[in-house]
Amino acid sequence: MSEITAPRSSRRRAVLTTAVLAAVALLASCAGPDAGSDASPSDTDPSASASESTASAVEQVTGDLVVFAAASLQGVFEELGTTFEEQHPGVSVTFSFAASSALAEQVNSGAPVDVLATASASTMEQAAAEVTDPVTFASNTLVIVSPTNSQGGVTGLADFANPDLTLAVCAVEVPCGAAASTVFEAAGVTPSVDTYAENVTAALNLAASGEVDASLVYATDARSAGDTVTTITFPEAAEAVNDNLIAVATAAPNPHAARAWVDLVLSAEGTAVLEAAGFDLP
C-alpha cells in the first residue's frame, strides 16, 4: 500500500506546548487572591466556571492526532491540518493517505488511528465495527484526464474501448475503480484498460506524466492537477457519485482531538475548503 505521511515538527509542538502552559498559568492567576483557599472560584463566580470549562476543553485537545484519509482528500486535509494546529496549540497531526479500502483494512487490524475518512460509503462500511457514527461530508464524481497536448485524441468515455490507446483506471477494489465500473456499465462500454492503479492519485499521475493517453479520476484530482492535464466530463459520471464519510475510531487513542478534527471538517470553515477544491457538499 502506498502511504503518504505528513508529520508536524516537534519544535513547533514544543513552542505550542509552552503557549498552553502559559495559558494555564494565566487562568490560575485569574483565580484571584483566594486561590489558596478551600473554595473554588467557580463556587461563587459563574464566569470563572465558564473559564474553567473552556480551559478544560483546550487541555483535552492536545497531543498527537492520527488521521487516515482517502488519497483524494490529501490537499484539503493538509490545508485543514495547518488550521487545526493553529486552533489547538499542543496538537500534532499526522496523516496517512491511501486507498480507502486499504485504510479500512488497517483500522480493522488495530492500527492506532483516531479518525478515518473514506471516499465511499462502502469502504467506510468495511470498518463499521471499528468506527463511531460516520457522517457524509462531501461527494465526488469521475472525469477523464489526458496529458496536455496528448496525441491520443481521447474525447469521451467510448474511447476507453479502443485497444490502440494506453488507458488507466483505478483498481476495482478502491472507490474510484468501483465508480469506473459503474460508469462503463452505464455507457455500455467494455473498456480496454492497460493499468489498474492502486488509488486515484496514481491514476492521475499516469496521465499527468504522459504514461497513458487517458485516466479516469475524481473531478477534484483533475482540478488539483491544473494545466498538466486536459479534463473531459461525461454524462454517465452522474451514475457513480461517491460520498466521502468521516468517523472517529472506536478505539481512538486521542478521542478529544479526533472529535475536534471531525468538527472542523464539518464546520463552515471546513466545508469552504472542500468546496474550493471542487467537492460537492451534502
Cα–Cα distance, 265 to 252 (Å, whole number): 17
Annotated binding-site members: 72, 100, 200, 218
Helical spans, DSSP H, in the chain: 10-29, 46-60, 74-87, 100-108, 121-126, 175-187, 200-208, 219-225, 255-266, 268-276
Question: What residue type is assigned to position 244 of the chain?
Answer: N
- Those residues with Cβ within 8 angstroms of residue 1's Cβ, 6 or more apart along the chain or in another chain: 98, 99, 102, 106, 198
Which three cell numbers, joined as nine digits, stand for 144?
A: 477523464
* DSSP, res 142: E
- Bridge partners of 134? none
- Those residues with Cβ within 8 angstroms of residue 77's Cβ, 6 or more apart along the chain or in another chain: 67, 69, 95, 97, 117
In angstroms, what CA-CA distances link 72 with 81, 178, 225? 15, 15, 12
CB 193 within 8 A of CB 244: no
In angstroms, what CA-CA distances link 190 with 95, 159, 175, 185, 248? 37, 10, 19, 8, 39
Angle at 278 between CA 275 and CA 279, to 5 degrees: 70
Annotated binding-site members for molybdate: 72, 100, 200, 218
